[in-house]
Structure 1
Amino acid sequence: MANTKKGPAPASRPGLEAAARRRPVFRPLGAIASLGRIPLYRSATALVLTTGANAGLGLIFWTLAARLYSIEEVGRGAATIAALQLVSMLGCAGLTPALIRFIPPSRLSTRRLVEITYLAGVSLAVLCGAGVLIASYLFIEPLSVPGFVFLGGVAVFAVFTLQDGALIGLRREGWVPLENAGFGIVKILFLVAFSAGGAWGIFVSWSITTAMVVVPVNLALFLRFIPAHGGRGREHEREFTLSEIGRFSGANHLSALLMGLPDFLMPVIVLQIAGDRDNAFFYAGWSLVWPLRLVAVNVANAFTAHAADDESRAGELSIKAGLLILAIFLPLVLFLTLGSHPLLQVLFGREYANHGDIVMRLLAPGLLAYAVVSLGVAMARVRRQLSRLLVLSAVYAAVSLPVSIALVSHYGIGGAGAAWLISQLALAAIAAAIWSGGLFDRSAGLPLVEEMSSQGPAGDVLASR
């Protein structure tokens, strides 16, 4: 009798231990607790810190510009920098993901890959910059600096954009917040130093700082980081051809344009339909919520680099990335949703809070859907599922623009917030299917949970990398 009572205990203990091992994997708070221990989380944290540093230092830059320069000078300087960022994005949109995806596992010469990518990105950006320059002289007000200065700034900023992708691919993410923080601080100093120069002082402070950051970072990149990466033993190397990388870059470039266009046009749609007054109320909430999507983008980029190193672990790592985004976004979404009115009132005033409150409460939950979209895009990049990536992007462009126009026409700025939320939810449904398809280890054919239970504690598995 006693033996029969004691018999189940040894059998049940392994089951309890296995459950205890798996339980932290599905806890968002466990992701926060493991930030310093798990390589994926360390990488993601560095990139998220970059987002915060850029936002904070950018706010200081433009606040000082408003006090040191006239309104007209700030307007022209801001327009020139916006043009610089736009053409750099057009030139590098598909190339940065290629560096993140192909540097970790490829036997192709890393130096050659980075050099070719830099050449392609700079060439495309300068070509787009020339188009913007011609258009500004023919149809719009000329830029605040001479054409050759603008194109030089475009070339340097393209390298500045691509070097972050190279650092992430080389698993040197810790340098990204450092160089971006240095960029933000030094450009503020130059902004003050060149304040007597008018609108060109804003652009020159930006461009000179970019060059000052690009030179030392790329010296370290080519003389230290790339040779060290080449000497690292990697079990999952394979040869990627330049044509494969070119197709991947082209698909990602088109995807970035399709997914970015509706969001960039949203304030324009509100302005044209609802008017400048309502657009000001809309933009107050939009300017607070929309930049937060970069948190999900940066965590997804960290996942891409780590999963590219070993595709068999893509499912496991995507769960880890998802939990980290959830741990960050849940309190943020609750704060922005429940505290939207007082937050807007403190930052912008009572009238903005009274009219823009509904926008904030509709936009904030969309961040959770955007997290799913980011992970779906990252999984498609890891698996090189270019057709799925393009379908996802095309659906967003096809759904978001007409829905936005229709809802803004009928419901004003509340309709704009609802349109973004609906579009993100629709896109998340497709992205979830892409993401869930990556939760299986294709090399072993085992579901993720079964594989993890056979390996022991998830934290130990990841920490051993």
Structure 2
Amino acid sequence: MLALARTAIMRASRILRKSAVLITNSGALAIGTVATAGLGFVYWWLAARMFPPEVIGNAFALLSVIGLVALLGEAGVGTLLIGEIVRHPGQEAGLAGAAACIAATLAVGLALVFVFAEAQLSSASPIDSWFEAGLFVLGCSLTAFSFVLEQALVGSLRGSARMVRQILFSTLKLMLIVAAATAGFVSDAAILFTWVAGLLASWIGLDLLTGGGARRLVGAPDFSLLYTLRDKVLGHYALDVSVQAPTIIMPYLVLVLLSPTINAAFASLWMLVSMAALIPAALATVLFPAVRANSKQFGHDMLVSLSASLLFSLVCAALVLAFSRQLLALFNPAYPEIAGSSLRLLGFSLLGLTFKFHACALARLGDKMRKASYWFALGGLLEFGFAIAGAKLNGLEGLVVGWTFAVSVEGACSALVLAFVRTLVSDAGPAGGGLAPFQETSDHRTEASAANLIAGAPSQSAPAAG
């Protein structure tokens, strides 16, 4: 028995050493994610206890719109940095500076469009003052800026710096929400202020802790270099929007379809599930630069990342199924009465999301982002369609069931793609170089088949996720 245990430990040690880059950076991202999740839980727990439900519902809806505007404003340049920043030594700061400028500027423009459109088209807009509108626009710009620079940290394999910034942000906004509630400011504008101030202060804090590391991350914008990568930018952008937009905007959709009060209960559990989804998302994200650095590790790293993500997702789904009402009660005793058991199936969406994240990483590795985005966009429409239909038929529970079903269908299709492409890579053997099906090989039929599957093109198998 002792010999078997020693053998198992030695084998596990070899596996860990073999994927040291992936595990080290994924570990840093996971630690940051766990800390952010814990502090985020405390933040929203305090907010739910000290702010009225309709305020929480409106604030969470606005934050979801900020996330969507930042995603649209990011324009794919942030995700591009993950795979490209290591390929341009000496030009990293200029590339990151150009990406950050574009993202922040586009986010401001889109935020202004939303503010004026809401004022003209909606009689019950969650934005009810110019001060709140200003916070919203600034929040969109800072969120897009932060997203790009965090991706630059991941791409340069500096996951620990990203971890520090995430922890600083979560800690600072928690302190601010306590101060706001203590001072009697219990509006959704106060929540937006804690978010904006926390973002700005977290970057300043990271710069101080790293002796100017945050400032060195960004240099004079090198727009010419970014322009040469424009085809990949568009591909990453299309894929990011098609994969992430439906999930980001869901709380705003609940606000519009149902009510701010119902959205307060929904957003509380949605936030927990979204935080849990950050773990498989982080693993899939680090997979991109790690495999870029050593393509022979593709099959091994993909299996490690996917297995760990699925196990984590399954545990979270079981917890939400069994304790959804108790989790809601942790935030506010009124929330279980508002939502009942309507949210108990929400956790199972994590399984489908895990496969989607890894299929997305696969598309990036094969530089087939734009083609894959068509199928992911179709999946996003499926999510919106089933969520809206479910809400019309059976309120909150119908929305959750419809959305979870749509994500599960996407996940099943993604799983088929991942299994088939991994088989192609395994069949290529050591001579194929790990990612041979995605690169130039002598077997053009294998290459074409893999590319079609990554892109989600119609084939004899099911289409890719979405």
Tell me, yes or no, if structure 1 residue 124 matches structure 2 residue 106.
Answer: yes
Pairwise CA distance, 1:126:
1.6
Pairwise CA distance, 1:125:
1.1
Alignment of 1:35-434 (within 5 A): 38-65=20-47, 84-92=66-74, 94-106=76-88, 109-135=91-117, 138=120, 140=125, 141-143=127-129, 145=131, 151-193=137-179, 196=183, 198=185, 202-215=191-204, 217=206, 219-221=212-214, 223=216, 242-243=226-227, 245-264=229-248, 266=250, 285-340=269-324, 343-344=327-328, 352=336, 356-357=340-341, 359-360=343-344, 362-434=345-417
Kindly provide the amino acid, as one letter, of the partner of residue 92 in structure 1: E
CA contact (8 A) 2:61 2:252 kept: no
Describe the shift of the 1:438–1:221 C-alpha distance in structure 2 as closer, same or farther (beyond 3 A): farther
CA contact (8 A) 1:156 1:214 kept: no
CA contact (8 A) 2:85 2:155 kept: yes
Pairwise CA distance, 1:292:
2.0
Distance in 2, matches of 1:71 and 1:284, equals: 11
Distance in 1, matches of 2:116 and 2:286, equals: 38
Distance in 2, matches of 1:294 and 1:120, equals: 25
Pairwise CA distance, 1:385:
1.0
Unpaired segments of 5 or more residues in structure 2? 435-466
Distance in 2, matches of 1:404 and 1:40, equals: 36
Kindly provide the amino acid, as one letter, of the partner of residue 319 in structure 1: L
Distance in 2, matches of 1:147 and 1:418, equals: 34
Question: Alignment partner of 1:103: what SS?
Answer: helix
Tell me, yes or no, if structure 1 residue 445 matches structure 2 residue 428.
Answer: yes
If the length of structure 1 is used for normalisation, what is the TM-score?
A: 0.72
Kindly provide the amino acid, as one letter, of the partner of residue 51 in structure 1: T
Pairwise CA distance, 1:377:
0.3
Q: Which residue of 2 aligns with 1:10?
A: none
Distance in 1, matches of 2:401 and 2:62, equals: 32
Pairwise CA distance, 1:340:
4.2
Question: Alignment partner of 1:121: what SS?
Answer: helix
Kindly provide the amino acid, as one letter, of the partner of residue 109 in structure 1: Q
Describe the shift of the 1:125–1:358 C-alpha distance in structure 2 as closer, same or farther (beyond 3 A): closer
Pairwise CA distance, 1:374:
0.7
Describe the shift of the 1:340–1:102 C-alpha distance in structure 2 as closer, same or farther (beyond 3 A): same
Distance in 2, matches of 1:136 and 1:181, equals: 33
Kindly provide the amino acid, as one letter, of the partner of residue 259 in structure 1: V
Question: Alignment partner of 1:357: what SS?
Answer: coil
**1:354-383, CA deviations, whole angstroms, 9 ceiling, x for partnerless residues?**
9643532x3323312221111000111122
* Highest RCO, 1 vs 2 (Cα 8 Å, sep ≥ 6): 1
Question: Alignment partner of 2:86: what SS?
Answer: coil
Pairwise CA distance, 1:166:
0.9
The structure number with the bigger radius of gyration is 1
Kindly provide the amino acid, as one letter, of the partner of residue 347 in structure 2: A
CA contact (8 A) 1:76 1:144 kept: no
Kindly provide the amino acid, as one letter, of the partner of residue 23 in structure 2: Y
CA contact (8 A) 1:315 1:439 kept: yes
Pairwise CA distance, 1:309:
1.7
Report % sequence identity.
20
Describe the shift of the 1:440–1:117 C-alpha distance in structure 2 as closer, same or farther (beyond 3 A): farther
Pairwise CA distance, 1:321:
0.8
Describe the shift of the 1:128–1:37 C-alpha distance in structure 2 as closer, same or farther (beyond 3 A): same
**1:48-106, CA deviations, whole angstroms, 9 ceiling, x for partnerless residues?**
23233333323433444567778888777667655544432321262221111212334
**1:404-434, CA deviations, whole angstroms, 9 ceiling, x for partnerless residues?**
3344444554433332232123212332344
Unpaired segments of 5 or more residues in structure 1? 1-16, 25-29, 228-239, 452-465
Describe the shift of the 1:78–1:288 C-alpha distance in structure 2 as closer, same or farther (beyond 3 A): closer
Pairwise CA distance, 1:175:
1.6
Kindly provide the amino acid, as one letter, of the partner of residue 397 in structure 1: G
Question: Alignment partner of 2:159: what SS?
Answer: coil
CA contact (8 A) 2:355 2:411 kept: yes
Pairwise CA distance, 1:295:
1.7
Equivalent residue pairs, number: 413
